[in-house]
Amino acid sequence: MSISLKPGAGRLPADARRLMALTEALALSGSRVEDIYWENQITAVLNKLLKGKANRHIESALEALVPERMAAYEILVEMAETCSESALLSIGEQDYDVLLFSAPLLVWTRYQLPLPSVMSAKDADTITKALHDCVLAPDVKLALLPEIVSFEQMPQTFQETARLTQQLGQKALGKKASAPEIRPMTNTEGMLADARFIVGAVAVPKGQPVFCWQTTGEDVVAERQACLQKWQAAITTVVQNRYTACAVDYLQPDAYYVNSREADRRIRPLALKSAVIWLQNAANLRGPELQAAIIGCGESVVEEYRVGFTTRHSNQVIYGCVWPILSKEEAASTQGDPQQLSIPEEIAAHLAEVGINDVKQIAGLGTTEICEDCGAPFFPNAQGEMMHPELPEETDLEPRHFH
């Protein structure tokens, strides 16, 4: 089947071009029989790339599909995630399904967040027992990363994710495997909100259930909620000891990529509100004394929203926050739907919760400009001017360390 690729695609590696052609073919398929054929072809190429030498061919193919060929893009993302977060391993004649999972913790504070650190043996045992008792199906084999990690420390490519799946999967099955590499965090100064992840891999005989809600045959929605409540109760002591003076939201332990996206989505309002609370305290400015302006920024489509803060008596931006867009359609996903808030309206609602009600939405598309000297983003004032934020001189710049 001949598939025409977008201009510039010829400069991509052959395997990336092949992925693009196959996913576009799948997007055009008119039957489940044809779907299966193309899916098998795509899976073969993905597995070859994931097991090969270091490369970013999958990421290159995805970048080439955006934004004109979103149907193919979504197909390739889903299949790349599936192939990298799951594997089939064998012991003797028994095949095992392996799944990489995470249990996110959304943490925020008015103080400095603690750095990630290696879990003690006692904490690791408590978390392992809680997973077996509250989340996993019976007889599931399990291996955990030794540290509760941040986004920055997690795999940055599909190939790295596949390698972690293999390493932890082999460990869960009692096989010899190289130790996973955990990156150090490089930039934690001033961090007030972050997602942290308990990451592990589970192994079950091929075709058997992984999670306990697969085994009940009852209301799965209710069972999942009950599992989350039991999981939270079982690890609360561990989490509270690690994140003293922090508020924590617990997300359902689930597959690696779905939880990465959910944590990304849910950390945004927490990061926004914790930053505003810090500003109010550090600069001794109450909500009614502050104004906010929101603008969508990007090259051709909205890639992020930037929120600039000024006082009522000045147009100088004193502080700002970035609200990232997590998919290419997200910025427009609620436009025209009277039942849902637009993203700027959602941001304004969160600002109102921390006392800022004077919020202006700036029309048009702003630039993603940053300061060449310090790397700080520029933020809008109420007139739509993109400015470098300058905190008042009397501001107490350092978040206090409680830990």
Contacts of residue 401, Cβ cutoff 8 Å, sequence gap at least 6: 111, 112
Element (H, E) at 94: strand 94-108
The pLDDT tens digits for 392-401 are 876 666 655 4
Phi/psi of residue 306, nearest 5 degrees: -115, 135
For residue 264, give the 3-state DSSP assignment: helix
Number of neighbouring beta carbons within 10 Å of residue 275: 22
Report d(CA 3, CA 289) in Å as an integer.
58
Report d(CA 145, CA 156) in Å as an integer.
16
Tokens in use for 19? 């992925």
Residues of the chain with pLDDT under 70: 1-10, 187-190, 328-329, 331-340, 394-403
Residue type, 99: L
Report d(CA 265, CA 283) in Å as an integer.
28
Strands 304-311 and 149-150: unpaired
Residue where the block lists tokens 């959304």: 106
pLDDT at 29: 97
The pLDDT tens digits for 273-324 are 999 998 998 888 988 999 999 999 988 888 899 999 999 989 999 999 999 9
pLDDT at 339: 56
Report d(CA 109, CA 150) in Å as an integer.
16
Enumerate the domain spans of the chain.
Answer: 9-85, 92-256, 283-387
Report d(CA 310, CA 317) in Å as an integer.
5
Tell me, what DSSP letter sits at residue 121? H
pLDDT at 187: 67
Strands 86-91 and 94-108: antiparallel
pTM to 2 decimals? 0.88
